[in-house]
Structure 1
């Protein structure tokens, strides 16, 4: 439940940045989606590491950060591609952002749980 709560918080931050970049700064939709995703994903990592996954803080942050950066890059490409691709079907970039977020958050949960914040893997490796 905490993961979902933090996903919603980070999505809200992400969407607010996206809307600001598109509406106020007139940034191209794909670039705006990537930049907004970067901000939201950082919020998501910090909240999940601190509160969502048991044992996440037991591991050192350096390997987790490297793994997070890897996942972040994959998410950037997925989010930018999904939002940009769907923008050819409709003008509602916020709906496209919702579709992209749902797709990435489902995948991210399993990657966070079993790779980045896996307490068994951290105790074996350390």
Structure 2
């Protein structure tokens, strides 16, 4: 019984791994690994709140668009809503918003990402 449970857990962890294997034996990279969040200098965000920057999402995959769902977090750990969309391929930038609003920190976290 214990061996069967262990084998089941091992199989479950294998299925939940970050990279799977394609039919030809090459590793398949999850869509979320191609999404990058970064903060860039922006005059409007600086005016809104000192030290604020524009938070952008970038898809680094050269050919495939990535559909995403992001969780917006405000003032530490307070979820404020979801943002969905499609990030075009080739490092195109998707503007999300300012990293500071009225002196309080705002950020986004990738919840889900799939290739289009």
Query: Is TM > 0.5 for Structure 1 vs Structure 2?
Result: no
Q: Determine which structure has more spread, i.e. the larger CA radius of gyration.
A: 2
Q: How high is the TM-score relative to the length of structure 1? A: 0.29
Q: How high is the TM-score relative to the length of structure 2? A: 0.30
Of Structure 1 and Structure 2, which has the larger fraction of its residues in strand? 2
